[in-house]
Chain A
Amino acid sequence: MAIKEFFEIPKRYKTWSFALIGVGVLSVIIGFIMYGASENVHDKARFWSTMLHNSVYFLLVTNAAMFFICATTLALGGWQMSFRRVAEAISVAVIPLGIIAGLVLIALVVVDPHIYHWLHPEGDPILEGKSGFLNSKFFIIWTVLAIVLWIALGYKMRKLSRELDNNPLPNAEAGRKYIFKNTVWASLFLVWFGLTVMSTIPWFWLMSIDAHWYSTMYSWYTFASSFVAGMSLIALYVVYLKNKGYLEYTNNEHLHDLGKFMFAFSVFWTYLWFSQYMLIWYANIPEETVYFQSRITTEYHKGAYSFIFWATVIINFLAPLLILMRRGTKRNYTMIAVMAVVIIFGHWLDFYQMVFASVLKEHVELNLFDFGVAAGFIGIIMLATGNALSKYPLIAKNHPLTKESLVHHA
């Protein structure tokens, strides 16, 4: 059987990605005129919150693809080899998204549109106590370092993967060496990932919006959100490429395992969501419950974001739990595609709530501006991923573990 090694970007795909980017750019411009350029503190915060929410969410989602590659590499996994190039291509989008997110985050500190109030710790003993960590210098250095190293280590992993495309391994010994080299670089990425996405970066970028408040679950919670959305994005691309007649060696056995990831990490996300919620509910300390004030409606007060807060639980927990539980759904291309879109949207909404319920606590202003900016980021992901897919072969045919993937049986 002959295979189609290279992805040819369909015209419609290209048109769509450019159209979406156009919508995004237009939204940012209109948003800037309507909100960002305003003298009103509230409007200014509205504009920058949208930028923060979208750029951070989509950056973390695409970066999760590289995390997936490195985690499976370190575990000597073979099953993912038949579609590994898809995850690699998605991780290319970390480059443009990282640059955009980096600029937005630096602007948040430099322009200071009243999102991070730890920028002015004077007279506030709690913020002064935290200022060794929460200060603009460290924030900028750490942010830039995080993004640059994600890009650099990701680039190295992709390069290692392509190394064998035109020169097959001569013998088993060379194969062992190659695998070892991969594990070393993958573990470097994972260590850095652990120090950033799984701990410090969510503290800096998102949790520090509520600088007085903290939760030890927060980084895991953010990671779980971005990872499950990242797996959904990979699954979505696998289904898309299968529909176009590519990825001949990927079949429903691989899709089944991707579905298991989507299912399992939806449950994992809920586990963290609930752990964070229940501990705060149980202890009932004002310093901690303040986080849920704008997010939950009780008989004593109304939280503006209550609807979105509970909607995310239904979309991100109940729907995947009940729908993806069946074996048949995880092996069904249509269902996986539908659930992938649902999960990506659900976690986008979750990030929205994480940012906005802390900045604009009074009422929800979710409107076309947010969706327009999100469309722009989706366009960038489509463009970067499509280009990466078309540039290099879709299957790493000389990789020592590829054969394991071809006979994979879930």
Chain B
Amino acid sequence: MAVKKFVVGCFDEEGVLFDAVKKVRKAGYKLHDVYTPFPVHGLDGAMGLRDTSLHTAGFIYGITGTTVALSSITWILTSDWPLNIGGKPHFALPAWIPITFELTVLFAAVGMVLTFCYLCQLAPFVKKHHFHERATDDLFVMVIECGDEAEITNFLKNIGASDVNTQVAETGWWFGRYDKEEKAIEYKNETVLHN
């Protein structure tokens, strides 16, 4: 697996981190990822991550579930083993809707969990590199792909990182890797309320 060198900057506060992310992107360094103790609203936008395609996958799994449910029940109850249930017609669509719904949800849910694990490269017994243990506790950890090590370290310190170090880590273990595509940085007009 490809091994890369990363510069890791730690931030104590969310507000500092937001500005830092914008500055890093403006300076043209390649963000690998940002690890936070909790989901930070709007950080994906600030990082310029494209929208995830997980929901498209979820939709496809969902309609797969719908199709599997409807076609299999139809085949079973109308041609393979027709049963007279309460004098209803063999093709008793209303009775099948709840099961169709269940299978739609089941396929979508399980499929999306597996896809999520694949995209995040999570699997049982796979050890992932932790850039900083406190990223799951109270520290915001920004990881940048290393170019000029000294320059990036300095830059991070200047924009408010409380601690900067360099680490070597594997970039992925699966076939291919999930590259986080970035959008060009854009500035929105922000509205402020005046009294």
Q: Which residues of A contact B (CB under 8 A)?
A: 1-3, 168, 248-249, 251, 274, 277-278, 281-282, 284, 325, 327, 397-398, 402-403, 406, 409
Residues on A with beta carbons closer than 8 Å to the beta carbon of B55: 327
Question: What are 23 contact pairs spanning A and B, CB under 8 A?
Answer: A1-B192, A3-B194, A168-B195, A248-B191, A249-B191, A249-B193, A251-B191, A274-B94, A274-B97, A278-B94, A278-B95, A281-B94, A282-B86, A282-B94, A282-B95, A284-B86, A284-B87, A325-B59, A327-B55, A397-B195, A398-B195, A402-B193, A409-B42
Residue from A281, A325, A327, A402 in contact with B51 in the complex, judged by beta carbons closer than 8 Å: A327
Kindly list the 7 A-B residue pairs having the minimum CB-CB distance in the complex, ordered from nearest. Answer: A278-B94, A409-B41, A281-B94, A409-B42, A406-B193, A249-B191, A1-B191
Give the secondary structure class of B's interface: loop
Residues on B with beta carbons closer than 8 Å to the beta carbon of A406: 191-193
Per the CB 8 Å criterion, the residue count for chain B at the interface is 16
Give the secondary structure class of A's interface: loop
Residues on B with beta carbons closer than 8 Å to the beta carbon of A251: 191
Q: Encode contact with A along B160-195: 1 for CB under 8 Å, 0 otherwise.
A: 000000000000000000000000000000011111
A402 to B192 CA separation, bound complex (whole angstroms): 12
Residues on B with beta carbons closer than 8 Å to the beta carbon of A398: 195
A168 to B193 CA separation, bound complex (whole angstroms): 14
Residues on A with beta carbons closer than 8 Å to the beta carbon of B51: 327
| CB under 8 Å from chain A, chain B span 46-100 | 51, 55, 59, 86-87, 94-95, 97-98
CB distance from A264 to the nearest CB of B (A): 15
Residues on A with beta carbons closer than 8 Å to the beta carbon of B86: 282, 284
**A277 and B94 contacting across the interface, CB-CB below 8 Å:** yes
CB distance from B80 to the nearest CB of A (A): 23
A299: nearest chain-B partner, CB-CB:
B89
**A397 and B95 contacting across the interface, CB-CB below 8 Å:** no
A402 to B87 CA separation, bound complex (whole angstroms): 59
A274 to B96 CA separation, bound complex (whole angstroms): 12
| CB under 8 Å from chain A, chain B span 31-51 | 41-42, 51
Residues on A with beta carbons closer than 8 Å to the beta carbon of B42: 409
Residues on A with beta carbons closer than 8 Å to the beta carbon of B193: 249, 397, 402-403, 406
CB distance from A87 to the nearest CB of B (A): 20
| CB under 8 Å from chain A, chain B span 120-178 | none
Residues on A with beta carbons closer than 8 Å to the beta carbon of B87: 284
A278 to B192 CA separation, bound complex (whole angstroms): 52
